[in-house]
Structure 1
Amino acid sequence: MAGMVPQLVGIGQEFDISCFSGGGFDGLAGKHDAAQRAMAGARQTRVLHIGDYDQSGEHMFTALAEDVIAFAGSAGAEVEFERVAVTGEQVTTYHLPTAPPKTTDRRSFSGTATTQAEALPPDILAALVRRAIEAQRDPAVHQQALAREEAERKAIRAL
């Protein structure tokens, strides 16, 4: 998963969005730090999550979301989580390689086969992330920002 981070950081920079990578089951300190980052933004935060499609991946997503939302909520901040990848639908749509679920992992799992996040080709991962980001943008606000930038460029050139 760490190999994806540079690509995701690059996509995030296009939108002025930060990218962070966790490692396995993050401890409470990491989750608290994530909540602190969300609270520092002074507005509603949406966390876009990429993880393996397996028992651990689903459980990690749920545990991370519950804990970060609770930490942020106790300080009056609002955080939402969205699973961007990997989903069962993506496994089918993109014909991703699968393996049977681990019989030693007793956590509940919605799928019948597992897939690692690294199985997503980089161009597809980038498209999924861009689509998730763009779905959150208000087109009118975006156009206003572009118009303001252009006006500022013209003013700077005039000087």
Structure 2
Amino acid sequence: MPDKRPRGYQPLWRPRPATLELLAAIDVILARYAELLPMSLRQVFYAAVSDGVLEKTERAYKRLGEVVGMGRRSGRIDWGAIRDDSGICLEPPPAFTDPGDFRGRMRRAAEGYRRDRQEGQEQVLELWSESAGTTAQLARLAEPYGLTVHSGGGFDSLSGKHEAALRAAECDRVLVTLHLGDLDPSGVHVPRALAEDVAAFAAAHGGRTELVRVAVTEEQVARYGLPSAPPKPTDRRSFTAAGTTQLEALPPDQLAELVRAAIEERIDMAVYEEVLEQEAAERAELLRQLEH
């Protein structure tokens, strides 16, 4: 069954009268808490329940999510008004015990000085993992090459897809998403939806995107002898593999091998080495200046 979900911006959206009423109620809620934005979808939901606009049911929550999503896609609701919660950590500005502490941190910062290690490359690479549990390992693998790592399935975080599109437009290069996910109906359809939605948003801003599936694939299941299980009989989405396999079934060393190969296959190693050399020279100069 083809996926009929909207992709990218939807400026021609014409909501029905009942939807317009809900949008008006959402406007009231967002205006009420204007100085405290962004709000999570769950916060908007409970405010709507408190206002008597919605019943406290999963069905009502799902409908609110669909309406808010289309409101954002159409420009009816500001993107910054709603946040997608996914492990957010907000910290105050840095503070110091005294000027000596500040100078010490400046030196440590200089010792860790880095250039953009994707500078000069024809593409900008990012790693996206369906499993939050793999992000720490992926971050260690990506760190030498200067890649950012994101976690999340893609269907749930509209903000994440929109922000990826904006990054693609700002970098003036093709933004390539190296995607890792389970081999199951969700693992097949989520990246497809992610790629289509990010591409649609990016195109509106002049950006270019590409998604490359790194793992798990049917070929990898056979090559590494990974365990698999039958797909859920209740999931009717198209799925042609013989069985389902989770990303965590890949042993860490094999996952690392696949990720490094995917990265190095898409970067110019000579350009990368030049950036590292320039980085080292500039780091030494910064430390020399701090000595004085």
Q: Same fold (TM over 0.5)?
A: yes
Whole-angstrom CA distance in 1 between matches of 2:155 and 2:249: 20
1:41-56 alignment runs, 5 A limit: 41-56=171-186
Task: Give 1:29's aligned residue.
Answer: 159
Q: Per chain length, whose mean CA-contact separation is higher, i.e. which structure has more relative contact order (CA < 8 Å, sep 6+)?
A: 1
Task: State the 1:21 CA deviation.
Answer: 0.5
Task: Give 2:133's aligned residue.
Answer: 3
Give the greater-gyration-radius structure (CA): 2
Whole-angstrom CA distance in 2 between matches of 1:23 and 1:60: 6
- Structure 1: which 5+ residue stretches go unaligned? none
- Structure 2: which 5+ residue stretches go unaligned? 1-130
Whole-angstrom CA distance in 1 between matches of 2:205 and 2:232: 38
Task: State the 1:123 CA deviation.
Answer: 1.3
SS in 2 for 1:37: helix
Task: Give 1:144's aligned residue.
Answer: 274
Which has the larger displacement, 35-44 or 51-60?
35-44
Task: State the 1:108 CA deviation.
Answer: 1.0
Task: Give 2:247's aligned residue.
Answer: 117
Which has the larger displacement, 53-62 or 100-109?
100-109
Whole-angstrom CA distance in 2 between matches of 1:54 and 1:22: 15
Task: State the 1:58 CA deviation.
Answer: 0.2
Deviations 1:22-56 (A, max 9, x none): 14622433311222233333322110000110111
Task: Give 2:57's aligned residue.
Answer: none
Task: State the 1:127 CA deviation.
Answer: 1.2
Cα distance change, pair 64–158 in 1 and its aligned pair in 2 (3 A): closer
Aligned residues: 159
Whole-angstrom CA distance in 1 between matches of 2:154 and 2:166: 20
So what's the TM-score if we normalise by structure 1? 0.88
So what's the TM-score if we normalise by structure 2? 0.50
Which has the larger displacement, 141-150 or 5-14?
141-150
* Aligned partners of 2:170 and 2:207 also within 8 Å: no
Deviations 1:46-93 (A, max 9, x none): 100001101111000100000001111111111110000000001111
Whole-angstrom CA distance in 2 between matches of 1:151 and 1:29: 38
Which has the larger displacement, 58-67 or 137-146?
137-146
Cα distance change, pair 157–63 in 1 and its aligned pair in 2 (3 A): closer
Task: Give 1:76's aligned residue.
Answer: 206
Task: State the 1:2 CA deviation.
Answer: 1.3
Letter in 2 for 1:55: P
Cα distance change, pair 103–140 in 1 and its aligned pair in 2 (3 A): same
Which has the larger displacement, 66-75 or 26-35?
26-35
Cα distance change, pair 106–19 in 1 and its aligned pair in 2 (3 A): same
Letter in 1 for 2:262: A
Which has the larger displacement, 32-41 or 84-93?
32-41
Task: Give 1:99's aligned residue.
Answer: 229
